[in-house]
Each structure stands twice: as structure tokens, then as C-alpha cells.
């Protein structure tokens, strides 16, 4: 185990993921924070992944490993060599494929502290190998939401000292643009009049994020509000084309903008009158933990609306309606009290 008198650690993070979403942003943000607090951080990730490239650009020590299913033995041997050479105090795994390789390699090399991070709420099977991962190969399990913690605790009989819920955080920018200038700049980007108002979504374009539901909801209020809908982010090509066709079929295409991926989301939040996250439960299982997108929006003083699956685990005192159910959807731009959503705590609710 770790030396209790030690104050600074060498930490190796591993991930098999190649996207640039909440999971990867969390790893990167926490790596930056830990380095700023004098810890040494090393990242192991697929060579051309966004996390690998950004970490390399920021001068982190990085190792490229693909974590492909066909390369399990090769990747295991590579990790054993890395761990033997680097002698880290902590190894923290973040994805299914890398966890199955990195934890055995960390045990083989007697790493003092081994952490398995579970970033999603999908249920885990009670297989012999999962029991080995969660009960024997790792010392601690980190999750992003209490729901996931309770599930894993019950499934594997984990003690309170073995598993912890640690919500995702954000690294805010040093400055934010004025709301009016951000709004005018966004309008100029789309060739719209400078007084155009916007509501929008920022994140991965996918059905489980509720983007289909949001487009359908926008149709219901299309004639009642002057706003344009902005969808910021990428998704599978087939799904994105289906969304574009849907906006045409619903006759809302003229005021719907597909912005694509942008690395700097902060001016977008400042330009929006409301950020909507309509994530859906999957087979009754919560899809979201603590959505970073809502935290980012709220930091920018951008009002937020979330469906229950998206926002029920954020304790900012705001009444969150299940506002994006279709049909019979309650008025989507207000909370249950009938007051416009501000994205700030309701007085008396903490």
C-alpha cells in the first residue's frame, strides 16, 4: 500500500478509449490539476486518440498502447515493462479493455495502489473474472455516481472503504466573454441577424443523450419562441444524417444549426439562453453520472434544463421536470414551479 507519509505521487492513467468526451476530458483535467499540485502523471492511451495527442502537446509523459482485443498479450507485456521502468505509486484504469490488461500487469509488478475507475452506470455482470477485477486486482473502485456505487457494492459485496463516488469536475477558463458579444459572434457564425437568440445542446450527438427528443421538443415550441437551436458536437454519421433529415421533415431546419465539434465550448455556453440535456435511461439504468456539460453551462451562468436521468444527481436545488418526454411534454423552458429556469439554486434548497 501507499506510504502514508508521502505527499507527492507518480500516477499512471490508462484508457482504451479514443473519443474526446466526458471520460477523456475528466482524465485530462485531473491530470493537469495533479501535475499543478506537484504529482507526476503519466498517460497510457491509443496513439492517435485525442487524449494521447493533447497530453503529448501539454508535455505529459505518454505511452502509446492500442488495447485492442487481438493484442492482449502484447499489451500486457508492454505494461509490465512500463510499470517496472516507471515504478509508479498508483495505477488508475479507466476503460474495459485497458482494465483487463493493466490491473493484472500492475499486480504482477507489485504497484502499491491500484484503482479501477467506472465511468458509466451500465450494470456489470457477476462473472468470475469481474469478481477478480473488482475484489482482488484493484485496491479501490471509483465511480462517478452513487447509483453505480450502490450497484457494485451490492454485486461484489464491497466495503465502504473500497469504493467511492467521485463526481466529475471541470477546469474553467481564466476569463469568459461577455454574453452579448458571444451571442453576436455565434449569430455571425451562422449568418443570422445579430439579435438572434439561441438554445442548444453541447456534447456527443446520440440517442442516449436525448438529442432526438430535444429536436422533437423544439418542434413543439418552434412557433412560440424566437430562438434557434444549436447542436454542438459530433456523433455517428448515420445518426447525424438522420437528425438533419428529421429537422427538415419537421420543418425546423431553417432555425437548427449543426455546429460540429469545437474545442472551446465556453463562448457557446455564454451565447445560449438555455442549455438542454435530455439524456434517457437505458433499460431503466441511469445513463448519466454527473454531467460535465451541465456543470460547464452553470459555471458560465447559462440556464440549464435537464431531464431526470440527466440532472437528478446534481444537487443545485433546481426543480427538474421530466421535460422532454414526447408526447404530452410539459412546457420545456420552465421548471415545475412555473418560473423560468435560471440554472441557479432555488432559495432555501441549498
Residue 329 has what pLDDT?
Answer: 32
Residue 325 has what pLDDT?
Answer: 33
Q: Which residues pair with 44 in a beta bridge?
A: 14, 63
Give me the sign of the Cα torsion angle 342, 345, 346, 347.
Answer: negative
* Residue 62 exposed, middle or buried by CB count within 10 Å (0-12, 13-18, 19+): buried
CATH fold group of domain 10-165: Rossmann fold (3.40.50)
Edge-first strand listing for the sheet containing 304-306: 256-260, 228-232, 198-202, 274-277, 304-306
CB 105 within 8 A of CB 83: yes
Q: Which residues pair with 229 in a beta bridge?
A: 199, 256
Of 328, 311, 329, give the one whose Cα is nearest residue 320: 311
Looking at the chain, which residues constitute the CATH 3.40.50.2000 domain(s)? 10-165, 179-311
Residue 157 has what pLDDT?
Answer: 96
* Residue 318 exposed, middle or buried by CB count within 10 Å (0-12, 13-18, 19+): buried
For cell 507518480, the residue is 10
Dihedral pair phi/psi, residue 127, rounded to 5° = -90, 165
pLDDT in tens, the chain (350 residues): 777 788 899 999 999 999 888 889 899 999 999 999 999 999 999 999 999 999 999 999 999 999 998 999 999 999 999 999 999 999 999 999 999 999 999 999 999 999 999 988 788 999 999 999 999 999 999 998 888 899 999 999 999 999 999 887 788 899 999 999 999 999 999 999 999 999 999 988 888 788 998 999 999 999 999 999 999 988 888 999 999 999 999 999 999 999 998 889 999 999 999 998 887 766 655 555 667 888 899 899 998 887 765 554 444 433 333 333 323 333 333 333 233 333 333 333 33
Q: Is 157 left (phi over 0), alpha (psi -120 to 50) or beta?
A: left
Domain spanning 179-311: which CATH class is it, in words? alpha beta
CB 271 within 8 A of CB 183: yes
Residue 343 has what pLDDT?
Answer: 36
CB 214 within 8 A of CB 276: yes
Residue 302 has what pLDDT?
Answer: 93
Residue 257 has what pLDDT?
Answer: 97
Residue 222 has what pLDDT?
Answer: 94
CB 102 within 8 A of CB 111: no
Residue 324 has what pLDDT?
Answer: 35
Amino acid at each position: 500500500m501507499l506510504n502514508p507519509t508521502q505527499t507527492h505521487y507518480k500516477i499512471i492513467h490508462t484508457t482504451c478509449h479514443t473519443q474526446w468526451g466526458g471520460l477523456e476530458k475528466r482524465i485530462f483535467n485531473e491530470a493537469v490539476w495533479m501535475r499543478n499540485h506537484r504529482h507526476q502523471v503519466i498517460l497510457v492511451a491509443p496513439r492517435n486518440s485525442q487524449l494521447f495527442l493533447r497530453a503529448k502537446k501539454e508535455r505529459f509523459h505518454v505511452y502509446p498502447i492500442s488495447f485492442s482485443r487481438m493484442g492482449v498479450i502484447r499489451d500486457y507485456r508492454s505494461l509490465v515493462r512500463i510499470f517496472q521502468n516507471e515504478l509508479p505509486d498508483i495505477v488508475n484504469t479507466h476503460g474495459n479493455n485497458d482494465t483487463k490488461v493493466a490491473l493484472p500487469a500492475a499486480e504482477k509488478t507489485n504497484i502499491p495502489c491500484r484503482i479501477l475507475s467506472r465511468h458509466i452506470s451500465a450494470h456489470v455482470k457477476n462473472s468470475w473474472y469481474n469478481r477478480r477485477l473488482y475484489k482482488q486486482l484493484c485496491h479501490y473502485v471509483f465511480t462517478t455516481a452513487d447509483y453505480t456505487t450502490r450497484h457494485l457494492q451490492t454485486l461484489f459485496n464491497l466495503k465502504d472503504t473500497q469504493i467511492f463516488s467521485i463526481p466529475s469536475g471541470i477546469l474553467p477558463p481564466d476569463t469568459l466573454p461577455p454574453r452579448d458579444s458571444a451571442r453576436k459572434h455565434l449569430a455571425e457564425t451562422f449568418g443570422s441577424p445579430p439579435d438572434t437568440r439561441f438554445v442548444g445542446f453541447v456534447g456527443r450527438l446520440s440517442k442516449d443523450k436525448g438529442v432526438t427528443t430535444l429536436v422533437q421538443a423544439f418542434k413543439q415550441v418552434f412557433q412560440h419562441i424566437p430562438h434557434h437551436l444549436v447542436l454542438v458536437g459530433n456523433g455517428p454519421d448515420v445518426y447525424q444524417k438522420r437528425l438533419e433529415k428529421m429537422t427538415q421533415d419537421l420543418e425546423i431546419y431553417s432555425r437548427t444549426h449543426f455546429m460540429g465539434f469545437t474545442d472551446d465550448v465556453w463562448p457557446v455556453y455564454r451565447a445560449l439562453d438555455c442549455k438542454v440535456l435530455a439524456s434517457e435511461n437505458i433499460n431503466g439504468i441511469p445513463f448519466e453520472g454527473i454531467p460535465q456539460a451541465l456543470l460547464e453551462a452553470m459555471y458560465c451562468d447559462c440556464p440549464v434544463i435537464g431531464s431526470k436521468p440527466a440532472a437528478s444527481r446534481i444537487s443545485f436545488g433546481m426543480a427538474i421536470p421530466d421535460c422532454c418526454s414526447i408526447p404530452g411534454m410539459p412546457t420545456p423552458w420552465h421548471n415545475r414551479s412555473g418560473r423560468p429556469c435560471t440554472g441557479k439554486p432555488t432559495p432555501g434548497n441549498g
